[in-house]
Structure 1
Amino acid sequence: MSAPTAPISGNQQRRMRSAARFYAVQALFQMEQTAQTADQVVSEFLNHRFGADYEGIEMLDGDVSLFRRLVNDAVNWQARIDQMTDRGLVAKWPIARLDPTLRALFRVAGAELTQSDTPPRVVINEYVEIARAFFAEGREAGFVNAVLDHMARAARPEAF
């Protein structure tokens, strides 16, 4: 018989959702760089990243169902999401020219904007924070904010 588990607090749930989003961006980046399938990458992340302990550094536990959904939706809806992203970029800078980390970020954020009921402002704020984690200088965070705002207005105009 397993020990009873403590209820998860609202703050812990938010951290787990944030971790799932962060891991989903990393997973999409890894898929692009290694040509692994979504199933392979999801399995690897669940087995080796979620809650793992590496030399005393504990990786965050993430919301597994959100992580799976974001990766799968980003893959399944990639063409639509890329078109939305392209419309948010300047004409001479299509998504194919973006840094692969930004491309992965826009795809995961686009999946959440188009395939979930998460409020657009929450999605934008979460992925701007992820951009800050990946890009220390901060210029990318403003860029991400602007493109995601455009994408959110296109995906859910009723929310604005």
Structure 2
Amino acid sequence: MSSFSGQARSNSRLAAVQALYQVDMERTELHLLLDEFHQHRLGAEIEDVEYAKADINFFDDIVRGVEARRGEIDATLTSKLASGWAIPRIDKTMLQILRAGTYELMARKDVAIGTVISEYVDVAHAFFDEREAKFVNGLLDAVAREVR
């Protein structure tokens, strides 16, 4: 895999988290949301802001996969949360990071566990401090032990 495709997948993961957040907050229909990202966000340039190139098929797989398997993903995450914690208590952005990472661990056996975890820790660093990034690392590690 070239570094471009690795970077494109990294960009796809970040965009997928943003798209999933939008679905969660605005209840945007999936096909409209995907179209918006394809047309305006993934590799586009809008008002001199260049959006990073992304692997569109990989992006679509994560977003569609999380939406299709949300119940299963949330049940898996819930089983790994500390006592007293539940999905509604998790920050909305954090939840999308965890859902996307869990989906990849469940469904994308072609991607190494270490790659999935480190990529979503990197995504967490885009939004949060080190403590939250460590939370992503620990939770996805626990999920990986169960689903792989």
TM-score range, shorter chain: over 0.9
1:126 corresponding residue in structure 2:
119
- SS at the partner of 1:26? helix
The alignment partner of 1:92 has SS state of: coil
TM-score normalised by length of structure 1: 0.88
Per-residue displacement from partner, 1:59-114 (whole Å, max 9, x unpaired)?
A: 10100000000001101111111111112211211112100001111111111111
Among residues 129, 145, 158, which one is paired with 2:137 in the alignment?
145
Say what the alpha-carbon RMSD is for the aligned residues: 1.1
Seq. identity, %: 35
- Paired residues in the alignment total 147
- Normalised to the residue count of structure 2, the TM-score between the two structures is 0.95
Quote the offset at 1:57 in angstroms.
2.7
- Does residue 154 (structure 1) correspond to residue 130 (structure 2)? The answer is no
Q: Equivalent residue for 2:79?
A: 87
Match of 1:32 in 2: 24
Distance in 2, Cα, partners of 1:107 & 1:42: 17
- Where in structure 2 are there 5+ consecutive unaligned residues? none
Counting only pairs closer than 5 Å after superposition, residues 56-95 of structure 1 correspond to structure 2 as 56-95=48-87
Task: Please name the residue that 2:98 is paired with.
Answer: 106
Matches of 1:114 and 1:101 in 2, distance apart? 20
Residue type at the aligned position of 2:62: L
In the TM superposition, residue 35 of structure 1 has moved relative to its aligned partner by 0.7
After TM superposition, the runs of 4+ consecutive aligned structure 1 residues lying more than 4 A away are: none
> Distance between the aligned counterparts of 2:31 and 2:142, measured in 1?
30
Aligned equivalents of 1:37 and 1:91: distance in 2?
Answer: 34
Greater Rg by CA: 1
Shift of 1:120: 1.0
Q: Between 125-134 and 33-42, report the one with greater CA deviation.
A: 33-42
Give 1:51's match in structure 2, choosing from 25, 39, 43. 43
* Runs of 5+ consecutive residues of structure 1 not aligned to the other structure: 1-8
